[in-house]
């Protein structure tokens, strides 16, 4: 169909394409590389070894040992915060770009090649804007609220793995810690809604309290399914109990886990206020919900937490159900063999760590794309429907999955082969579902006269 479109922008200059690629690839990769190097060498044993062998002191009596360990932790904190911020920023660009393609638009295409630099421009804009506090607002709480969210978001990175040995602290109560700490985000939203002294913000706060606290329950119970299967709450322990190949993932190894994944994922969507559960900030109902009155840097923090949570929820689901960083065809004892016994790990081990990080990041990004896809597909549900869905369907279903898993574990201990059979069968089911989905998508596109699959013009 001929349409009077505005003229296309001029070709992006070559230096700008180069700069964009350098930033797009360089920034996340350099952060991940720093994490890759930093996290294994700041383990207490490694620090003690460094003090003993390199500096020639006895770490037990050397007075600066704790300071060195603390400095390493601060450095890790800064890098992890950087990763969260960069990921959050890039996700806003990705979301706008994907939304554009889904909506038959182009999306951002001016700042940098493919509009990539737009997220930096946005961040800069938010930093430079005036930090307004409404005259009638509760000043202290209003200013403090975004930081509750930020803390709740950043602390989850403590137990979120990036790779086989790449984790800030593999706490024994990892999964429990994440559930507990993400609840801090709700406090931020509630405080923001209350202290803004705006009725729209208050509505957002109400809704958020009702929603997030309700959905913590099915999320928590469905999280118990992989925990039961692994027999540990530690994040790395849960991943080590799975394997690299799809039929070794928890999600397929147990029919109840297959259901539990969807319950968990739905609850996570609700906890992260993503569509169809974006009621606390429903723009067509509540203007902007709990952050109606925020501007500048403080709004930026809310925004960062919202988009950074994409990584947290996806990484959590990947960890619990989809085999985490496990590389297909690589077993636990091979990791030990590659590590060897030398105090400093050999190059092959570093390569394996990088590969495990790549696997984990790729899986997580796939799930992030699913979240974005859901957001631009579904309408928002109403608050009573949201509560019904949680209490009438998700909570009982999560309990059923939990009970089924208990029995399933008994069955597995009697007949170990049943786990592999379930894994293969459910993997095939998932494969067929994906194939059917792709076929349906293709048919939908071609059923309209004049439409075609077009991935050009990014």
Partner 1 sequence: MEKLILRRVDRRNEEMILNFGPQHPSTHGVINFIVETDGEVLRKAIPDVGYLHRSIEKIGEMVGYPGFMPYTDRVDYLAAMFANEGYAIAVERLLKLQVPKRAQYLRAIACELNRIASHLVSIGSMAMDIGAVTPFPYALREREYINDLIEALCGARLTYNYLRIGGVAYDLPQGWRDRCLTFLDHFDSLLQEWDRLISFNEIYERRLGGVAVISREQAIDYGLVGPNLRASGVDWDLRRDAPYGAYADFKFDVPVGKGWAGVVGDCYDRYYVRVLEMFASAKIVRQALEKLPEGEIQVKVPKKPKPEAGETMGRVESARGELAYYVVSDGTDRAHRVRARTGSFLAMGIIEDISPGLMVADLVALIASLDVVAPEIDR
Nearest CA-CA partner of 218 in 30, 415, 409, 386:
386
Q: How many C-beta atoms surround the C-beta of residue 439 within 10 A?
A: 10
Pick between residue 27 and residue 102 the one whose CB is nearest to partner 1. 102
Is residue 208 a contact partner of residue 201, using CB atoms and an 8 Å limit? no
Secondary structure of 187-250 in the HEC alphabet? HHHHHHHHHCCCHHHHHHHHHHHHHHHHHHHHHHHHHHHHHHHHCCCCHHHHHHCCCCCHHHCH
CB-nearer residue toward partner 1: 138 or 285: 285
Q: Which of 6, 74, 128, 448 binds partner 1 (CB under 8 A)?
A: 448
Q: State phi, psi for 159 to the nearest 5 degrees.
A: -110, 5
Residues with Cβ within 8 Å of 252's Cβ and at least 6 positions away in sequence, in order, are: 246, 258, 422, 423, 424, 426, 427, 430
Residue 450 touching partner 1 (CB under 8 A)? yes
Rule CB under 8 A: is residue 307 a binding residue for partner 1? no
Nearer to partner 1, 56 or 379 (CB): 379
What is the 8-class DSSP label of residue 225? H
- DSSP assigned state of 168: S
The DSSP output letter for 159 is: T
Q: Does 429 bind partner 1 (CB under 8 A)?
A: no
Query: Which residues, 6 or more positions from 267, have their beta carbon under 8 angstroms from its beta carbon?
Result: 215, 216, 218, 219, 222, 390, 394
Secondary structure class of 325 (helix, strand, coil) = coil
Separation of alpha carbons 161 and 175, rounded Å:
11
Q: How far is CA 3 from CA 6, 7, 454, in A?
A: 9, 11, 17
Cβ proximity to partner 1, 122 vs 278, nearer residue: 278
Q: Is 1 in the site for partner 1 (CB under 8 A)?
A: yes
Rounded to a whole number of angstroms, the minimum distance from the CB of residue 333 to partner 1 is 48
441 binds partner 1 per the rule CB under 8 A: no
Residue 329 vs 450, nearer CB to partner 1: 450
Distance CA 256, CA 387 (A): 23
Residues 90-129 that bind partner 1 (CB under 8 A): 99, 102-105
Q: Between residues 136 and 384, which has the closer beta carbon with respect to partner 1?
A: 384
Q: Site for partner 1 (CB under 8 A): how many residues?
A: 37
342 binds partner 1 (CB under 8 A): no
The one among 83, 206, 302, 325 contacting partner 1 by CB under 8 A: 206
Which range of residues in 32-40, 65-73, 315-323, 447-455 is near partner 1 by CB under 8 A? 447-455
What is the closest distance, in whole angstroms, from the C-beta atom of residue 200 to partner 1 in the complex? 8
- From 153, 203, 250, 258, residue interacting with partner 1 (rule: CB under 8 A): 203
Q: Report which of 379, 398, 401 is spatially closest to residue 389, judged by C-alpha positions.
A: 398
Cα–Cα nearest to 317, from 368, 277, 246, 254: 368
Helix (H), strand (E), coil (C) string for 183-197: HHHHHHHHHHHHHCC
Considering the complex, what minimum distance in angstroms separates the CB of residue 289 from partner 1? 12
Binding mask 382-401 for partner 1 (x = CB under 8 A): xxxx----------------
Burial state string for 112-136 with b = 16 or more CB within 10 A and e = fewer than 16:
bbbbbbbbbebbeebeeeeeebbee
Length of the chain: 458
* From 220-228, 279-287, 295-303, 339-347, span contacting partner 1 (CB under 8 A): 279-287
Peptide bond between residue 271 and the one before it cis (omega within 30 degrees of 0): no
Instruction: Tell me if 453 contacts partner 1 by CB under 8 A.
Output: no
Please identify which residue in 54, 379, 414, 456 interacts with partner 1, judged by CB under 8 A. Answer: 379
Taking CB under 8 A as the criterion, the residue among 73, 231, 283, 415 binding partner 1 is 283
Q: At closest approach, how far in Å is the CB of 287 from partner 1?
A: 6
- Tell me if 278 contacts partner 1 by CB under 8 A: yes
> Which residue among 48, 131, 170, 285 contacts partner 1 (CB under 8 A)?
285
Site for partner 1 (CB under 8 A): which residue of 282, 313, 318, 352?
282
Q: Is 136 in the site for partner 1 (CB under 8 A)?
A: no
Quick check: 196 binds partner 1 (CB under 8 A)? no
Binding of residue 376 to partner 1 (CB under 8 A): yes
Q: Contacting partner 1 (CB under 8 A), which of 54, 284, 342, 413?
A: 284
Q: Binding of partner 1 at residue 209 (CB under 8 A)?
A: no
Distance between CA atoms of 426 and 326, rounded to whole angstroms?
Answer: 19
DSSP structure string for 402-423: HHHHHHHHHHHHH-THHHHHHH
Minimum separation from the CB atom of position 130 to partner 1 (A): 20
Judged by the rule CB under 8 A, the positions of this chain that interact with partner 1 are 1-4, 99, 102-105, 199, 203, 206-207, 275-276, 278, 282-287, 376-385, 444, 447-450
């Amino acid at each position: 169909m001929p349409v009077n479109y505005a003229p296309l922008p001029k070709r992006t200059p070559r230096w700008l394409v180069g700069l964009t690629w350098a930033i797009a690839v360089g920034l996340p990769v350099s952060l991940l590389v720093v994490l890759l190097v930093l996290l294994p060498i700041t383990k207490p044993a490694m620090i003690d070894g460094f003090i003993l062998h390199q500096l020639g002191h006895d770490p037990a009596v050397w007075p600066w040992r704790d300071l060195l360990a603390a400095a390493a932790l601060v450095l890790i904190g800064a890098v992890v915060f950087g990763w969260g911020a960069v990921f959050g920023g890039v996700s806003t660009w990705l979301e706008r770009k994907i939304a554009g393609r889904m909506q038959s638009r182009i999306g951002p295409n001016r700042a940098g090649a493919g509009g990539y630099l737009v997220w930096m421009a946005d961040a800069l804009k938010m930093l430079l804007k005036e930090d307004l506090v409404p005259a009638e607002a509760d000043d202290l709480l209003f200013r403090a609220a975004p930081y509750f969210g930020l803390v709740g978001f950043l602390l989850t990175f403590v137990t979120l793995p990036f790779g086989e040995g790449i984790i800030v602290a593999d706490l024994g109560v990892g999964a429990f810690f994440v559930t507990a700490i993400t609840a801090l985000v709700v406090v931020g939203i509630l405080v923001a809604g209350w202290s803004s002294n705006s009725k729209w913000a208050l509505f957002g706060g109400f809704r958020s309290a009702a929603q997030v606290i309700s959905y913590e329950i099915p999320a928590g119970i469905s999280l118990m399914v992989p925990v039961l299967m692994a027999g540990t709450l530690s994040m790395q322990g849960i991943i080590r109990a799975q394997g690299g190949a799809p039929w070794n993932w928890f999600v397929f190894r147990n029919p109840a886990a297959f259901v539990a994944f969807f319950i968990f994922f739905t609850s996570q969507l609700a906890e992260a206020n993503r569509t169809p559960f974006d009621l606390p900030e429903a723009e067509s109902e509540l203007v902007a919900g709990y952050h109606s009155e925020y501007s500048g840097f403080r709004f930026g923090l809310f925004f960062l937490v919202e988009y950074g949570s994409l990584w947290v929820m996806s990484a959590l689901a990947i960890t619990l159900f989809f085999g985490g960083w496990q590389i297909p065809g690589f077993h636990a004892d091979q990791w030990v063999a590659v590590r060897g016994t030398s105090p400093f790990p050999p190059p092959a081990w570093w390569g394996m760590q990088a590969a495990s990080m790549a696997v984990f990041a790729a899986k997580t990004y796939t799930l992030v794309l699913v979240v974005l896809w859901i957001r631009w597909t579904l309408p928002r549900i109403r608050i009573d429907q949201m509560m019904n869905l949680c209490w009438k369907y998700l909570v009982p279903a999560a309990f059923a999955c939990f009970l089924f898993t208990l029995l399933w574990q008994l069955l597995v201990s009697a007949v170990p082969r049943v786990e592999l059979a379930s894994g293969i069968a459910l993997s095939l089911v998932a494969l067929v579902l994906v194939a059917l989905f792709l076929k349906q998508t293709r048919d939908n596109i071609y059923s309209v006269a004049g439409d075609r699959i077009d991935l050009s013009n990014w």
